A = this chain, B = another copy of it.
Amino acid sequence: MTTSRLEAFSDGVFAIAITLLVLDIHVPVPGSGDLANELAARWPSYAAYAISFMTIGVIWINHHIAIQRLGRVDHGVVVWNLLLLMTVGILPFTTSLMATYLREGEHLAAIVYGGSFLLMSLVFAATTRHILFTRPDLLTVDLDATSRRRILLRGLFGSLPYLLASALGLLSPYATLLVCGATAVFYALPTARADDEP
């Protein structure tokens, strides 16, 4: 399989998952109260939408960088990629769960939300590990052992905020949301990727 078809299919799943997020923001039923109050009460939905949108966007960027290093893909890359997409595809559900239960103070919803990001980033790291250490022959760039270890470690470090976010869910769902949001903003900042190419 060529990398371009893998990218096209993956782009499709990323684009659809990111756009389906909006379906979890519900229009208030007319007559259920003052519209301004009703819309304001939905702020967890808007926050969860924005944070999940940027998080999926960031993983999409990282996915592109990872695939770009490949000249072709083997069956293992395709399957790891499918598992990664499966963890991305579930995010509209965990986002909706988070938005629904934030104001209820439900710790479990926050743990699942942070946990779904953690799972996604761990599967991403596993995919990276498969490429860099099991099938380095698929790479178009020549990476020595140190570079490969550094790339993998950076991916694992990138999982830490989500581990923190999940753990903080035990204390407060708001803390989970805050850490996830701050992580998305951090990765979007210009300096975050200074030396990341390729």
A residues at B contact (CB < 8 Å): 1, 5, 7-9, 11-23, 25, 27, 30, 35-36, 39, 49-50, 53-54, 57, 60-61, 64-65, 68, 75-76, 78-79, 82, 85-86, 89-90, 92-93, 96-97, 100-101, 104, 106, 108-109, 112, 188, 190, 192-193
Q: Report whether A101 and B12 are in contact in the complex, using a CB–CB cutoff of 8 Å.
A: no
Q: Report whether B20 and A75 are in contact in the complex, using a CB–CB cutoff of 8 Å.
A: no
Q: Tell me the number of copies of this protein.
A: 4
Q: Report whether A86 and B27 are in contact in the complex, using a CB–CB cutoff of 8 Å.
A: no
The 7 closest A-B pairs by CB, nearest first: A12-B15, A16-B19, A57-B82, A25-B93, A79-B188, A27-B96, A9-B11
Beyond A89-B53, A101-B30, A193-B75, is A23–B25 a contact (Cβ under 8 Å)? no
Q: Report whether A11 and B5 are in contact in the complex, using a CB–CB cutoff of 8 Å.
A: yes
A42 (CB) vs chain B CBs: closest residue: B93
Q: Report whether B7 and A5 are in contact in the complex, using a CB–CB cutoff of 8 Å.
A: yes
A100 (CB) vs chain B CBs: closest residue: B27
Q: Report whether A53 and B75 are in contact in the complex, using a CB–CB cutoff of 8 Å.
A: no
